[in-house]
Amino acid sequence: MSDISSDSADTFFDDISNPLDGVEDVLTNQNWAFNRANRDELFVEVKGRHGIYNMMFAWDEEFGALQFCCEYDLQLHDLHVNKAYRTIAHINRSLWLGHFDLTEETMKPSFRHTQLFRGMTQTSGADHLHDLMQIAVDECDRHYQTLLMLSHSDAGDEESLSLAMMTVAGRS
């Protein structure tokens, strides 16, 4: 395996613009209010089918990577920590992009993904960013009912959770 020298890597990443500028463009086109906390962080509330999701974007210029997190406005019940981790692991096995995570301090589940933006510019990445955001919201909507069950003290048994995780045709 060959190493890339630091000089070579520096020029390799020179053409990357900050994708948060592209995120701003996507959000502005949707007429969504957002908060650009600083050059490298942006926050927005996104409406899904089942409620509001808190989306956070963090840009790391050194790696040319954008991490985003789409957090539910749900707090999972402490009684179901082990069941929650097993359920999230089961959900993650079916995902092609991103993963679900559970923050121990808040017990709030979220969909997370880190994307490399090497070679992309603000304009070339706008459609890509829109797609990534749509995937996050779709996955959060798809698994909302399962995670909602885990937010109640009477979350039900494993069979109930399995039924909630089934892929169904149509929408409610």
The secondary structure element, H or E, covering residue 109 is: strand 109-116
Model confidence pLDDT, tens digit, residues 10-26? 443 444 578 888 888 88
84 Cβ neighbours under 8 A, 6+ residues apart: 76, 102, 107, 109, 147, 150
Tally DSSP H helices, then E strands, for the chain. 6, 6
Model confidence pLDDT, tens digit, residues 104-151? 888 999 999 998 887 766 566 677 788 888 999 999 999 998 888 888
pLDDT at 1: 38
Nearest C-alpha neighbor of 68 from the set 105, 107, 29, 26: 26
Fill in the amino acid letter for 172.
S
d(CA 17, CA 129): 13
Model confidence pLDDT, tens digit, residues 42-88? 999 988 898 889 999 999 988 889 999 999 999 888 877 888 898 99
Residue recorded with tokens 């490399």: 116
Of 37-41, 88-92, 141-145, 148-152, which gets the smallest average pLDDT?
Answer: 148-152
Helix axes 81-93, 158-165, angle to 10 degrees: 30
d(CA 52, CA 137): 10
